[in-house]
Chains A and B, each alone.
Chain A
């Protein structure tokens, strides 16, 4: 079945460091791909998305490119801030039928220290 794999956390970075969180997926067809972010004690928020191969999603300095050849959707940010500390979830939506649901990865916790 469809699935999402993320790099294990927690990840700890110093402020202004470069961030990469790896995400790979298994799916048939052409799923849509997402990154959601969860701040402490809150629900998830959509960070960015891409709906087809080679699309780049971007928001708040974060970017991710839909790579069908490597089945990947890695999240990157050039310079992280303390306020980026959160849990990041990679997800996919098969988008084949109305019964398909969003599949989430296990999440990667990021801590940014001053």
Chain B
């Protein structure tokens, strides 16, 4: 079955540490996205990528970095510069940027130790 796989489901970060969240899709989608979800709030866009080797900042990119070396993979690194990283992180993909249907992974809950 095609879909988006996020790992790990739970992740803990120590102060000053960088952590990387994995996102893999086998839907052959060109566009991929990272969202942050805080309790009781909507989704905020961190980064997005329309094509391999290209990505753009979203609304809250500070303290995060991404790469898109392969079509299937779009990992997100939460750096030590992100002072409030505790949140639920969601990866999504779509056929293209103008294709409105988003497919989501099951999320990663990041917490600070």
* With known contacts A49-B100, A93-B100, A101-B58, A43–B45 Cβ distance under 8 A: no
* With known contacts A89-B42, A89-B43, A105-B42, A46–B97 Cβ distance under 8 A: no
Contact B50 A98 (CB under 8 A): yes
- A69 interfacial contact with B, CB 8 Å: no
Contact B96 A106 (CB under 8 A): no
Residue-wise, chain A 47-82 has the 8 Å CB interface mask toward B (1 for contact) of 001010000000000000000000000000000000
- B105 interfacial contact with A, CB 8 Å: yes
Chain B 1-26 interface residues, beta-carbon cutoff 8 Å to A: 4, 6
Contact A98 B98 (CB under 8 A): yes
- B90 interfacial contact with A, CB 8 Å: yes
The interface residues of chain B, by DSSP majority, are classed as: loop
The closest CB in chain B to the CB of A46 belongs to B101
* With known contacts A42-B106, A43-B106, A44-B90, A107–B100 Cβ distance under 8 A: no
Residue-wise, chain B 61-99 has the 8 Å CB interface mask toward A (1 for contact) of 000000000000000000000000000001010001110
| New A-B pairs, 16, CB < 8 Å, besides A34-B100, A45-B104 | A36-B102, A42-B107, A44-B43, A46-B101, A49-B101, A89-B43, A95-B100, A98-B96, A99-B97, A100-B97, A100-B98, A101-B45, A102-B100, A104-B43, A107-B40, A107-B42
Q: Which residues in B have some Cβ–Cβ distance to A below 8 Å?
A: 4, 6, 33, 40-43, 45, 48, 50, 56, 58, 90, 92, 96-98, 100-102, 104-107
